Amino acid sequence: MRGPLTDEQCDDVKKSVIEMFEECGIDSYPIDPYLIAERLCYVLRRYSDLSFEKQVEAFDISDDSYSTVEFNDETGMYQYVIYYNDIGRSERRIRWSLFHEIGHCYRGHHDNPDDSQHVIEEAEANLFAKYAIAPPPLIHVLKLTCSDDVARIFVTTDDAAYNSYCYYRKWVQYGPMEYTDFEIHLLRLFKIAA
């Protein structure tokens, strides 16, 4: 068990990232959260585009980002909407925030809100973002040797690159000797032979 998630829950999150890549036709890196949101029909809204009052509300919810389900009057349907702070934030930081919120939406955290699952849902969204932005099998086949390489290749913040590289090192040390079926599928999506 890793934190609040079991090994099975972690694998389920990783599989959902790969499923999303396949659904969205993602086969190259750096992986583009804007393209993923577009292909999943998730609406992206920058804090800087909001009225002053809405910006205050957004910052009260999160300094980085948040996601929700909203009714679209034009289509008569509900849609996922991701609000993200673009004010004084680097593009690398925004990318992480978008992957985190895409994780909430893609994992269905807004479909049946349950406050008792908040810790689990945040852990899932964090793992989703970490796995989506720099998947360990890709770090491995690219033979990256430090977090600076991860930051450069996958366009992440230094902190996210460090965390991703540490996660990769644990994956190498404690993971299975062979790629799992879903990791092989990931590599095939990116046209890399396992």
**Residue 184 within any structural domain of the chain:** yes
For residue 30, what are the domain limits?
Answer: 7-189
- 172-182 pLDDT, tens digit per residue, is 998 878 899 99
Average pLDDT over residues 171-192: 91
pLDDT band, residue 1 (cuts 50/70/90)? very low
- Comparing 81 with 192, the larger pLDDT belongs to 81
**Residue 194 within any structural domain of the chain:** no
Domain count, the chain: 1
**Residue 17 within any structural domain of the chain:** yes
**Residue 74 within any structural domain of the chain:** yes
pTM of the full structure: 0.94
**Residue 77 within any structural domain of the chain:** yes
Distances (CA, A) of 95 to 13, 41, 49, 75, 134: 19, 17, 18, 28, 12
**Residue 56 within any structural domain of the chain:** yes
